[in-house]
Structure 1
Amino acid sequence: MNITTSATRHSYLLIFLVSMCCNPWQSAVRADTPAAQTGSNQVLSSPTYAIRAIQDAHSNNTPVVVRQGELDALINTDGGGACPISAALIAMQTLRSMTGQPLHPKPHQYALQLFQTHPELKEGRITNDRFVNLFDWMADQIPGYKVQVDFVSARNSIHANTGPYWSDSEGPDLTIKGGELTILAYTVTTNGGNVLGRHFVLLKDLGDTQIRVLNPGKPMKDYQFTVEKRDSPAIKYKRVYFESPGQMSSNPLVLELNTVFKVRLFPSEMVPPSTPSLTVNQVKTAIDELAEQLRSEGKLTSPREWRRRGATFGLPGLDLPASVGGSGWSAEQMLEIFRHAGRYNLNLRDVVGGAHGRPAVKMDSPVAEVALKQLVAGNAYFAVAITEENAGTDTKSMQSRAVKDGDGFRLTGSKLWNARLRQATHVVLYTSSADGSSNDRTAFLLPIDHPGLEIVDRYAHGLTGNSFGGLKFDNMYVGPEHLIGDDGSGGELFEEHFLYWRLMQAAAAIGCGERALEIMAERIRQRHVFGGPIGRFTHLQQPIGKNLTRLRMALALAREAARFYDRGDFDAAEPLVNGIKAEGVEIALEACDEAMRAHGALGYSRDVDLGDRVRDLMGLRIADGTTDVMRMTVVREKYGFDLWEMSVRSFSGGKTNARGE
């Protein structure tokens, strides 16, 4: 903060700063790991994600953030603090993260160089123009991009006698966008009217009634402010104030917004960006932008629209190998994208990556080559048909069969309780194997309009972004080019694919629950009854704390499972994945149910989407492995296969009879 203080400038701060510059670690630090090439890199991530990533990356071993307290000793005694300079240095790292570039590995050394090159910084009391100049001096630290800084101020600001000023009626623009960082400067005044100075913070998140900011004084902690516009006597414009929720001080400081700086990035025509690949945060930002477009068009849950338009930033091919035009993302990276998609709507679990088209990678035929090319381009969408009326988890009871017919096959049977068939262009169809073994399964990739394939419609309560129904086929001929893998290898294909798929569905459920808790927190903050907000009834806060913690535990377990999967240790991943498919969905369901009930009748209406979240999660607790069966597999892996056998065998006269073998 640019506040005059009589406190002694401690020389050990400067010694500490120099020691940070001499840190021996040399490698560049990434706040957000990039993946393989996903197309154009003009997608710039949101500052919300970039700031969060920087906070996560900072540690004593990798000090990527320069705190205000580490620079205060460099400011003249009467110059206030180093708050704006620290804010600008953290902003530099934020901008690098937004572009997908590594963080500056030695920001403390760079800070010293900045003071040496521009000794006027030691004077403190930075004006608006000098703050803009500071970004000009640092522009070469964002290679491949031009940095543009604009600002608007309050009409009563002593730092902008001639403007520009924000709208008297609307106030300042605090919206958050990809490629644009907002820095807020507010005046700090005592209740007695003594102006102490200005403080600079980075806008991290914008809610309905509150903002979250990064404070350079304590950058690892999130600060929240309620934003209020107040009328003032004898003037025709509103003044904007920040209040700290829950502030207990009997003599609080008055925080009035003074200036809003917008720092924008534009690709340089002279120097190409140094990072050719998109990062997780950049893809999340692209999802945010596309979600708003599709919501405004009434197409938020349309899988075909998502895939077609998401192909512009590589969404359908994220987890497909580069050999088929994909990006080769890891399960650990994909987990974060599925989680983010689930925040918007659980139907978006179907719009990320190759989904049920992933098994086609194992094919070596023109059919697969064309289908995968269409999938990556956003023009194909794959369904999967495994379950039947009397065969769900017990796949050995599957009645659909394949028989050899020359080089090809004849398929006869029916499928039921399958999603996506009306929207799909292709379907992965499972039958019993043609080799005669009752234990083996075979998988085929077919166009949805394959001759002899008939769609049967049923209707589900939730997950209505896709159709629900089944298939019928009788003596349908399928050529050998449609076979996935070998005849009889469908069981292994199923296990490998659904291990991945269940993990991603759990991630989408976690994101769905996290967003519901955010909506609930805002509701109990805003809803007033009996003269006050309902948030004062602490029993409404308890479910938020409980379920947020449980969702965080579920996320930690999911990330551990993803790391096992990426290492190819499927045996270690399986019990974790099955457990998280069960518990992640159940925890998210409870979170959404609590949020819905906190809204009363509104929560049960279509004015909010909480009822949809509950309904969709109830579908997901059944789809892709029911909660009960997933829990049984966890018991089997930990305590022995005999307990599993007890659950899947029937008992008669004290003897067990194996079924489906």
Structure 2
Amino acid sequence: MDFRFSDKVETLRAQVREFMQQQVLPQEATYAEQLAANPWETPPVMETLKQQARDAGLWNLFLPQEHGDYSAGLTNLEYAPLAEEMGRSVMASEVFNCAAPDTGNMEVLAKYGNAEQRQRWLAPLLEGRIRSAFAMTEPEVASSDATNIETSIRRDGDDYVINGRKFYISGAMRKSCEIMIVMGKTDPDNPNRYQQQSQVLVPVNTPGVTVKRAMTVFGYNDAPEGHAEVLFENVRVPVENIILGEGRGFEIAQGRLGPGRIHHCMRLIGAAQRAFELMCERANRRVAFGQPLIKQGSVREDIARSYCEIEQARLMTLKAADMMDRVGNKDARDMIAMIKIVAPNMALNVIDRAMQIHGAAGLSQDTPLAHFFAYARTLRLADGPDQVHMMQLGRNLAAQFG
């Protein structure tokens, strides 16, 4: 493949990079202060930044070009360097309306939703007026195997009645979260385990929906979206809220997770790159034992090794994105699995070295490193644990020689 980006992409990357440097990074401290005052409210500075990004034409860049009017017209490969730039700050992807879980939910609605669902929910999400959540994971079952999901979605006349308990539901804590896509079983006795599940749209204010508590990640509440435990107790929604049809939930989940997995990897490379740059700056200016840290052989080795690992993951991500564009998500699944295994582990290694070179400061709120580390560690579980990806990848690879 040709690793040179088109003039269009290079222009967009320069615009995103400049916007990050001039607008986003200088506001990180203000964003944190405003969050501390109102954790589940979108900080005012975020709304200002979103409008500036929209005015600059840097909006909804994530949505693949096949979605026509909804899309910025970029391929996965073209979006990759832009997402990397956004990954340099934990707050940045929302600025450009490219933040999970909304990106995945918008893709679901654009790809699988009917006209009414797209008008009611996709339009305000694309405009950045509301936020959303995707409710799949459950505490009582191994949700890495989605066929285990136990939440009941039972047809009762013109309604579905939903009962179940979800947790680590990203986005559900935010007060502007208005809609959830809920995965559960409409046909638990179907002999085909992959046709037991369905996905249904559930407005957050529906009676019986209780956002019980925020789940933390290494002590971070990841405000303002958070990761909620949510109870569904005799929740009624119209049958029109089903997405695509009964028994299609697993199919939708697979379609949703492919792009989401690679988007996370793109952003992680940006986080690792920023950690690398902070590591180099610290090594050059910090003096220990009478000389700058960069004079230490072990520090130089950490810098060299980190650079190699970032570049390896970057190239693998670009290859995966290119395959998704050329042959589709299903045929690119092995490459997607590979980068989903590689990128979080790479980022953890690089960020850990940067933290070590920063000493105690690397563990503090004075750098983004600790938050980056928590994010990267989460992604060894989110969208499928490493072990599941390796199990399936190993099976697929071995089958070629069986």
Shorter chain as normaliser: what TM range?
A: 0.7 to 0.9
Q: Which residue of 2 aligns with 1:401?
A: 152
Q: Give the letter for the 1:464 counterpart.
A: D
Alignment map for 1:105-504 (pairs within 5 Å) = 279-292=12-25, 294-299=27-32, 305=46, 308-309=50-51, 310-320=53-63, 323-345=68-90, 348=92, 351-352=97-98, 355-356=103-104, 357-361=106-110, 362-389=112-139, 390-423=141-174, 424-434=177-187, 436-437=189-190, 438-440=193-195, 441-460=197-216, 461=218, 462=220, 464-465=222-223, 466-504=225-263
1:594 aligns with 2:342: no
Structure 1 outlier segments of 4+, above 6 Å: 300-304
* Equivalence for 1:158: none
Matched residue, 1:535 = 294
Q: Which string of whole-angstrom CA distances, capped at 9 and with x for unpartnered residues, describes residues 487-517 of structure 1? A: 1111111111101100110111111111111
> What is the deviation of 1:603?
1.6
Return the offset for 1:473. Answer: 1.2
Task: Specify the code of the residue in structure 2 equivalent to 1:295.
Answer: E
- Residue-pair matches, total: 372
Partner letter of residue 576 of structure 1? M
TM-score (norm 1): 0.52
The answer to whether the 8 A contact 2:265-2:343 is kept is yes
Q: How does the TM-score come out when normalised to structure 2? A: 0.84
- CA shift in 2, pair 1:605/1:570, >3 Å: closer
Change in CA separation of 1:435 and 1:631 when aligned onto 2, cut-off 3 Å: closer
Higher strand proportion (structure 1 or 2)? 1
Which of the numbers 265, 268, 278 marks the counterpart of 1:519? Answer: 278
Assess if the C-alpha contact under 8 Å between 2:84 and 2:266 holds in 1.
Answer: yes
Distance change in 2, residues 1:570/1:577 (3 Å): same
Greater C-alpha Rg: 1
Structure 1 Cα separation of the partners of residues 189 and 115 of structure 2: 25
Opposite residue 402 of structure 1, the aligned amino acid is I
Unpaired segments ≥5 residues, structure 2: 36-40
With over 3 angstroms needed to count, the CA separation of the structure-2 counterparts of 1:32 and 1:425, relative to structure 1, is: farther
Letter in 2 for 1:442: S
Aligned amino acid, residue 415 of structure 1? K
1:571 aligns to what SS in structure 2?
Answer: coil
RMSD of the TM alignment (CA)? Answer: 2.7
Give % identity. 21
Cα 1:327–1:364, aligned 2, differ >3 Å: closer, same or farther? same
Structure 1 unaligned runs (5+)? 1-29, 36-52, 54-99, 101-278, 644-661
Report which structure shows greater RCO (CA 8 Å, sep ≥6): 2
Cα deviation, residue 385, structure 1: 0.8
Partner SS for 2:330: helix
Query: Aligned with 1:393: secondary structure?
Result: coil
CA contact (8 A) 1:365 1:481 kept: no
Are the structure 2 counterparts of residues 631 and 523 from structure 1 closer, same or farther at C-alpha, using a change threshold of 3 Å? Answer: same
- Alignment partner of 2:87: what SS? helix
